[in-house]
Amino acid sequence: MPDMAFRTSVDLTANTAGIVTPNPFWLASAPPTNSGGQIMRAFDAGWGGAVWKTLGTPIQNVSSRFGAMHVKGTRAVGFNNIELITDRPLETNFREIYEVKRRYPKHGVIVSLMVETREEWREIIKRAIDAGADGLELNFGCPHGMCERGMGSAVGQEPALNERITGWAREFSTVPVLVKLTPNVDDIVPHGLAAQRGGAHGVSLINTIKSLIAVDIDRFVPEPRVGGLSTNGGYCGAAVKPIALHMVASLAREPGFKLPISGIGGISNWRDAVEFMLLGCSSVQVCTEVMLRGYRVVEDMIEGLTEYMKRHGFSRLEEFRGKAVPAFSEWGDLDLNYETVAKIDANKCIGCFACVAACHDGAHQCIHPPSEPPPAGKTRVPIVDESECVGCNLCQIVCPVPDCISMVPVDNGFQPATWNEFTSEGKPLRPKKGAH
């Protein structure tokens, strides 16, 4: 990277559908944005914006509400909740919104809303704007509790309802309107387009995924347990990031979709945030990581994003937003003649043979123990049979030593050819490997 890159002056100002914030890091609508006091502490910590916990007719929540999936010693890789929208009086919420905006005029306060009728939408939108909301987020995503009442994902799963209610919001609102999309659909694109037809200024995604997090195998009740019963909740946390990235990218590459995107789903650090921005997001929203670690996680996010931009010579977010979208394609467009093989660095290998086990039992049987014992004091390094290696990179994934195994491109003499080109034009394909 050129030396000039490190002298780049970085501006983190974000603009999502006309909502301008000091940086792209927003708190998602959830327990961390349940009150004005919380949001003011978050702004003091460095958050650029916050989406207020969803307002509507206040409800009664249950106890317990949260569950988590722990994987091999890593706690709360996935998170589940059955908490609903605000259970605090609307008057209290609106009073606090006003106070937050009075004290933090340069920060973004976006108010999440969920009601039923056209008149209820008219009233609550007016009250939110009168309180000082910089923007609105229509919650069409909640997969539990509210959907049974004809709201949340019950709206988000029906493009016609999405479009109609979005149209009401645009009619009543004088500030930008974002539509929060549910991931509980087969294809996100029709739902993003429905929001666009309804007049939304932007979309946010993903909301939580309908789920059961666990089962108590002694009490015979799913978690979280409310007395002797449980129900499905909303799945979130680091584990949902791949699903969120796919849905964001699917919308971002859709030629007919033109709206800004606020990305949500498993964002735990600055690298996650950059990935969402490279796929087209102008802001990112965080919830679970804050619930697990507190508001100050944003400090590392801001520092990491700043250094990333300096390293690559970016001065503004727009210079790299969407930069990875053109590389997201369909399987039929991938080059079938592109070939890699695994290379093991003997100086880094610790002889654990994790790659051997994975290759033999889970892949294509091309990595083997050495036939001869190593010289005295040397590590037994597995051998890669390159004639059989298909370049699947499972060995690289299971290897515990960073950069010990590399996937090295091979010049096989074949010109690029995709499946589509093979079937339509008869372009030649390289011989198969590993197909015993």
Residues annotated as catalytic are: 142
117 contacts 56 by C-beta, under 8 angstroms? no
236 contacts 286 by C-beta, under 8 angstroms? no
CA distance linking residue 359 with residue 281, whole number of Å? 37
Residue from 376, 392, 378 nearest 435 by CA: 392
290 contacts 297 by C-beta, under 8 angstroms? yes
Q: How many angstroms separate the Cα of 131 from the Cα of each of 111, 116, 165, 350?
A: 10, 21, 22, 61
Q: How many angstroms separate the Cα of 45 from the Cα of each of 36, 117, 132, 294?
A: 14, 38, 21, 10
Residue 401 is which amino acid?
Answer: V
CA distance linking residue 239 with residue 250, whole number of Å? 19
Cβ within 8 Å of residue 157, ≥6 positions away: 182, 184, 185, 191
Q: What are 73's strand-pairing partners? A: none
Crossing angle of helices 189-197 and 159-172, in 10° steps, is 30
Q: What are 299's strand-pairing partners? A: none
CA distance linking residue 330 with residue 30, whole number of Å? 34
CA distance linking residue 182 with residue 234, whole number of Å? 10
68 contacts 78 by C-beta, under 8 angstroms? yes
